[in-house]
């Protein structure tokens, strides 16, 4: 059984999350609630939760202020936020779990399932550091992204990614220094995340960083990247590519 603490300054949100967990998630039990940074710090030391549902904005500070009180964070976190767009994208780049207010049963169940599958907190500090960096960086191509393999957690500058290639349920990420990282995320996930950061899906299996494109061989139907890699362009993507290159 996973012990959870709900930290939110609004009682109705505390009750909503607690009731949804009780109704829909068997393996997570709420052992306490808190409504401020200080009360949450006390509750965490009292209950030693495995998981904390953490509101970002509270009367005496932020959820990040709470986390700074711990030298090593011994619990998993699901952030709960009313922020839209920018902050949500920062969470995705940092590969951290979040729930958007008002919390829905479907989203809560999905977030809880991820926690049940992996309760490890080993890489949390790095992800939080990347999250804070991304939240202060409005230019998406200048952000960092978390890439996770079975052995390592990588912090990569988005602009250092030359291209991505689908490999079944995995994706190969090619970097400017010649390194290649294989991660267990689908191409669609990366496409959704990077589409507004200068990347283009030129083929079902290929996503490229347009900042690293060298040329488009129109007759051959492929592009050449600055690392000399050759990437096919599907027929239905050619017009979009040409438009971006101001060639049509």
Q: Does residue 41 lie in a domain region?
A: yes
Q: Does residue 142 lie in a domain region?
A: no
Q: What percent of the chain has pLDDT over 70?
A: 91
Note the pLDDT of residue 177.
Answer: 94
Domain shared by 154 and 104, yes or no: no
Please name the residue that has the structure tokens 């017009």: 239
In 113-188 the beta strands, taken as DSSP E runs, fall at 144-148, 153-157, 161-167, 170-175, 180-183
Q: Does residue 143 lie in a domain region?
A: no
Note the pLDDT of residue 248.
Answer: 45
Answer with the one of 100, 135, 170 that is the final residue of a domain. Answer: 135
Listed ranges 83-92, 124-133, 139-148, 189-198; the one with the highest mean pLDDT: 189-198
Domain shared by 189 and 215, yes or no: yes
- CATH number assigned to the domain comprising residue 105: 3.40.50.2300
Supply the DSSP string of 204-227, one letter for each residue: TTEEEEGGGEEEEETTTTEEEETT
Strand partners, 99: 80
Q: Which tens digit of pLDDT belongs to each residue from 148-169?
A: 888 888 999 999 999 999 998 8
Residue 213 structural domain: 149-244
The count of domains in the chain is 2
Domain shared by 27 and 67, yes or no: yes
* Pairing of β 213-217 and β 98-100: unpaired
User: How confident is residue 86, by pLDDT bands cut at 50, 70 and 90?
Assistant: low
């Amino acid at each position: 059984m996973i012990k959870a603490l709900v930290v939110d300054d609004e009682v109705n949100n505390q009750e909503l999350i607690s009731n949804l967990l009780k109704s829909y998630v068997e393996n997570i039990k709420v052992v306490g609630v808190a409504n401020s940074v200080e009360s949450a710090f006390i509750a965490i030391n009292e209950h030693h939760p495995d998981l904390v549902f953490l509101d970002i904005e509270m009367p005496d500070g932020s959820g990040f202020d709470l986390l700074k009180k711990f030298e090593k964070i011994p619990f998993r976190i699901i952030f709960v936020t009313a922020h839209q767009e920018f902050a949500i994208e920062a969470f995705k780049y940092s590969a951290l779990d979040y729930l958007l207010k008002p919390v829905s049963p479907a989203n809560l169940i999905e977030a809880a399932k991820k926690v049940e599958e992996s309760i490890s907190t080993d890489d949390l500090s790095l992800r939080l550091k990347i999250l804070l960096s991304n939240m202060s960086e409005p230019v998406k191509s200048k952000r960092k992204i978390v890439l996770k393999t079975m052995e390592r957690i990588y912090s990569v500058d988005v602009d250092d990614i030359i291209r991505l290639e689908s490999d079944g349920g995995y994706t190969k990420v090619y970097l400017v220094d010649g390194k290649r990282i294989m991660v267990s995320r689908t191409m669609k996930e990366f496409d959704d995340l990077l589409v507004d950061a200068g990347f283009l899906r030129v083929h079902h299996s290929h996503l490229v960083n347009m900042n690293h494109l060298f040329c488009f061989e129109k007759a051959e139907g492929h592009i050449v990247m600055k690392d000399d890699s050759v990437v096919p362009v599907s027929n239905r993507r050619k017009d979009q590519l040409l438009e971006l290159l101001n060639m049509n």
